[in-house]
Structure 1
Amino acid sequence: MTSPSWTPPPTPAFAPTPDPLTPARDITHSHFDPGDQVVILKGVAGGELWGDAVHVVAPSWHTPTDEDGWRLRDATGGAQTYITGHPRYLVHLSRRCPECLIHLRAMEDHLLPKYADHDALVDCGWYTTTALGQLVHIADARSGR
C-alpha cells in the first residue's frame, strides 16, 4: 500500500468546520493576474477571517485538480516561499473585486457565527501542501496522489 503524497492537515483546536463554499466556487484562471495580492482563507481569528496573503506570480498547472492554477509567492518567506494553488482558493486583496467580495461575505456568514465566542486563532484545517509544493483543499485531495 502506497502512502498519499499529501500530508493530512494538523488537527485544529476545535472540530473542523466544513467548507462547502470554496470547493463549489466557480472561478476561472483568468480571474487573477500576475502581481495580484490575494488571500487564501483558512479560518477565524478574533472575530475576523484570516488566511495566508500571497502574490500571484505565474500560471502553473495544478496537478491535484488537473486544472490551470497559479504559482503563488509568500513575500514574508516562511517554510515555503512558493506554492501552486487553484484559483477557487484565492480572494483578491489588491482590488475590490465583486466576485471575491461576495465569496468573502459568504465565508464570513458561514464561519463567524460558529466561532463568535473564540478569540484564539482557529485553523479550520481545509488545506495541506503536497510534496510537489501544491496547496490542496481537503475536498480536492485525491488518494494516492
Structure 2
Amino acid sequence: MSQPPPTSAFAPTPDPLTLNRDITHAHFQAGDTVVVLKGVANGELWGDAMRVVAPSWHTPTDEDGWRLRDATGGAQSYVTGHPRYLVHLSRRCPDCLIYLRAMEDALLARFAGRDELIDCGWYTTTALGQLVHIADIRSGR
C-alpha cells in the first residue's frame, strides 16, 4: 500500500500571492506545459506538472479556466484549473517568473533546512474534477 506524501506541521500554510495574481485566461494556450505549485521539497518549490488541453469553465470561481492533463496519470488524469493557479514550464514568460520568484521569497526561507516534502495544503479537487484553491472554495461546494 502506498503512503500519502508527508505533510508539514504548518499545513495549510498561508498563500499570500495566488488569489491576488492577475493572470487572464489568454495567458495560457492549449499545448502549454504548466505547474501548479503546491509546496516545498528539499529547498525548492514543487508542484504538479500538467499540459493545458482545452478551455473549460471553472465552476468554483465562475471564470474561464483550462482543462489540464496530468501526464503521469493517477486517480484523476484530467482536472480544470483557474489560470492564476498555473505557472509556465514550457516557456520563460515574465509574469510567471515574477510569480515564481515571489512564491520562492514567501516560502523557501520559511522551510529552510527541512528536507521532507511539504505540501502547503492549498488545493483540493472537487467531485466535478475542478482543481480549487482552498480560498476559492464556496460554502456548500
1:60 aligned partner: 56
1:14 aligned partner: 9
Whether the 8 Å CA contact 2:71–2:77 is kept in 1: the answer is yes
Q: Give, as a single letter, the amino acid of the residue that structure 1 aligns with 2:123.
A: Y
Superposed CA offset, 1:12-61 (max 9, x none): 33212200100110000000000000000000000000000000000000
Q: Give the TM-score, by structure 1 length.
A: 0.91
1:5 aligned partner: none
Q: Give the TM-score, by structure 2 length.
A: 0.94
Of 66, 82, 85 in structure 2, the residue corresponding to residue 70 of structure 1 is 66
Where has structure 1 moved over 4 Å in runs of 4 or more? none
Q: Confirm or deny that 1:29 pairs with 2:19.
A: no
Give the length in aligned residue pairs: 136
Of 126, 132, 139 in structure 2, the residue corresponding to residue 130 of structure 1 is 126
Unmatched 5+ stretches in structure 2: none
Q: 1:15 to 1:134 in 2, by over 3 A?
A: same
Identity over aligned residues, as a percent?
A: 79
The 5-angstrom pairing of residues 39-54 of structure 1 reads 39-54=35-50
When the two chains are superposed, the root-mean-square deviation of aligned CA atoms in Å is 1.3
